[in-house]
């Protein structure tokens, strides 16, 4: 089995989704148990006999047989999916119905159903994302906790509460009702966006986790695009944004595990296939009248992707896109990014002014890259002492060793620049003195 192929994780979501469809959402815990049993069984058999040709089919067949056992054994004691009730009661229809529900196409719908169910309006956005990661992406409690950089206990509590809400929702979300679908679609898009961002900008230290979260978000977005009601211009924009950002993943961190700023990345190593895919999605998103934040963010990402060198970046357009983004989602982070773009076209002083005028910039106080941006701009202004103070403040807020090394390097750069400047000043003074003497 290929170590990079996360078979159990991937199949976990498919199996839980299919089983929950049969057992009913109130039996979510039962579905999860059946999946765990199937995994245990797979491990027992495969460790000795080796992994079969088609492990996914093997696991699905095991889950299907367990489902039949459970249905036969407990149909008098338990109620299962209400919409399937009659079919599950009769031995004549039981096996064919279960067979049908385990067909590949049916499982795709089940995943979508589960995705929409996880984005329940009674759950916070954070809880929705955690639930998607845990149920659909097969991340264990510990893995979910490390993805969000929280403790096992906190994550378990959040998941337990979220599952209770989900199990209490009587039935799974109906993805065939167009009005309901469209009403919940924005929440689903948002959850996938947050999941991707957690991977892309999140605090998790391990690079591998980063990339995996982005991959999961992209996989689920692709699933959304396969559904007639899901493939809206906004979903295309979201997919475009993910592809264009993910194209830069290989260069965000160097071989030594150090963070590289967008401006310093080796652009020749960006994943061109993803760039092309992203641009294609961006084109497909350009219909209809709705301009979502994903459209604007994807457009910004496309400008970076299309600039062969940092200095070729069309910063004017980037600034105007951030202006638009501010009208859709005026968050301090967006304002900070806008200020950075302004600094690129109009100089660091203007950038600093823009940052100072961010109304709710106190909300950025705990974000290390807020102080780091101030440091960067002060450094470019030549105010090394101030720059160093900002980088030190950022360093104190660093969320993982990678950020710590990066910011430590920036503190060092200020000090180097300072000695360099002192040297140049000395040279300059010597020159002046020489001129005086001549």
Residues that bind another protein (CB under 8 A): 1, 3, 6-9, 12, 39-40, 42-51, 138-140, 142-143
- Exposure on the CB side of residue 399, measured as CA atoms within 13 A: 16
For the CB of residue 44, give the shortest distance to another protein in the complex, in Å. 5
Q: Name, in order, each residue with C-beta under 8 angstroms of 337's C-beta and a sequence gap of 6 or more.
A: 322
Rounded Cα gap, residues 245 and 42, in angstroms? 37
Local structure of residue 268 (DSSP, 8 states): G
For the CB of residue 47, give the shortest distance to another protein in the complex, in Å. 4
Rounded Cα gap, residues 263 and 410, in angstroms? 14
Region of 299 (left: φ > 0; alpha: ψ -120 to 50; beta: rest) is alpha
Q: Name, in order, each residue with C-beta under 8 angstroms of 129's C-beta and a sequence gap of 6 or more.
A: 191, 194, 195, 198
Closest-CA residue to 249 (of 281, 217, 223, 222) = 217
Quick one: 4 or 359, whose CB is closer to another protein?
4
Quick one: 43 or 365, whose CB is closer to another protein?
43
Rounded Cα gap, residues 222 and 274, in angstroms? 13
Judged on CB neighbours under 10 Å (0-12, 13-18, 19+), 20 is buried
Quick one: 195 or 364, whose CB is closer to another protein?
195
Local structure of residue 229 (DSSP, 8 states): T
For the CB of residue 46, give the shortest distance to another protein in the complex, in Å. 6
Rounded Cα gap, residues 150 and 118, in angstroms? 20
Alpha helices (H) in 202-308, listed in sequence order: 207-226, 233-246, 249-252, 272-285, 293-306
Contact 229, 166 (CB under 8 A): no
Quick one: 216 or 293, whose CB is closer to another protein?
216
For the CB of residue 88, give the shortest distance to another protein in the complex, in Å. 25
Quick one: 44 or 266, whose CB is closer to another protein?
44
Quick one: 61 or 183, whose CB is closer to another protein?
61
Quick one: 10 or 78, whose CB is closer to another protein?
10
Please report, for residues 25, 81, 335, the alpha-carbon distance to residue 377 in angstroms, rounded to integers and kept in the order given: 53, 59, 15
φ, ψ at 252 (rounded to 5°):
-70, -25
Contact 154, 145 (CB under 8 A): yes
- Report CA 354 to chain centroid distance, whole Å: 28
- Report CA 25 to chain centroid distance, whole Å: 26
Rounded Cα gap, residues 304 and 313, in angstroms? 6
Quick one: 139 or 193, whose CB is closer to another protein?
139
Quick one: 8 or 315, whose CB is closer to another protein?
8
Quick one: 51 or 106, whose CB is closer to another protein?
51
For the CB of residue 33, give the shortest distance to another protein in the complex, in Å. 12
For the CB of residue 50, give the shortest distance to another protein in the complex, in Å. 7
């Amino acid at each position: 089995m290929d170590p990079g192929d996360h078979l159990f994780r991937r199949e976990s979501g498919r199996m839980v989704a299919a089983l929950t469809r049969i057992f009913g959402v109130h039996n979510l815990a039962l579905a999860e148990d059946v999946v765990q049993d199937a995994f245990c069984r797979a491990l027992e058999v495969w460790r000795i006999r080796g992994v079969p040709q088609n492990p996914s089919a093997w696991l699905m067949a095991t889950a299907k047989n367990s489902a039949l056992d459970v249905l036969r054994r407990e149909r008098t004691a338990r109620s299962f999916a209400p919409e399937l009730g009659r079919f599950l009661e009769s031995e004549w229809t039981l096996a064919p119905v279960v067979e049908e529900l385990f067909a590949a196409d049916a499982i795709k719908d089940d995943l979508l159903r589960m995705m929409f169910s996880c984005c329940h309006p009674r759950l916070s956005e954070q809880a929705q994302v955690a639930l998607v990661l845990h149920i659909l992406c097969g991340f264990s409690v510990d893995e979910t906790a490390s993805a969000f950089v929280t403790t096992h206990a906190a994550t378990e509590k959040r998941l337990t509460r979220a599952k209770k809400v989900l199990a209490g929702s009587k039935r799974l979300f109906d993805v065939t009702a167009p009005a309901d679908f469209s009403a919940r679609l924005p929440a689903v898009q948002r959850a996938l966006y947050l999941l991707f961002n957690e991977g892309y900008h999140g605090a998790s230290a391990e690079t591998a986790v980063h990339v995996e979260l982005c991959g999961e978000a992209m996989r689920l977005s692709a699933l959304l695009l396969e559904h007639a009601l899901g493939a809206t211009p906004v979903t295309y924009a979201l997919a475009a944004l993910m592809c264009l950002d993910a194209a830069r993943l290989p260069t965000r961190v160097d071989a030594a595990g150090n963070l590289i700023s967008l401006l310093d990345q080796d652009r020749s190593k960006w994943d061109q296939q993803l760039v092309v895919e992203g641009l294609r999605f961006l084109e497909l998103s350009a219909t209809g009248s709705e301009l979502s934040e994903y459209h604007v963010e994807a457009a910004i990402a496309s400008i970076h992707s299309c600039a062969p060198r940092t200095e070729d970046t069309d910063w004017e357009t980037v600034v105007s896109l951030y202006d638009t983004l501010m009208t859709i989602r005026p968050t301090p982070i967006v304002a900070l990014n806008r200020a950075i773009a302004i600094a690129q076209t109009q100089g660091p002083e203007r950038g600093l002014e823009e940052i100072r005028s961010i109304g709710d910039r106190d909300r950025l106080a705990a974000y290390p890259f807020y102080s780091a941006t101030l440091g960067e701009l002060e450094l470019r202004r030549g105010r090394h002492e101030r720059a160093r103070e900002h980088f030190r403040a950022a360093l104190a807020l660093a969320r993982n060793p990678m950020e710590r090394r990066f910011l430590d390097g920036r503190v060092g750069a200020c000090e180097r620049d300072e000695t360099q400047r002192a040297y140049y000043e000395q040279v300059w003074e010597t020159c002046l003195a020489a001129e005086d003497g001549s």
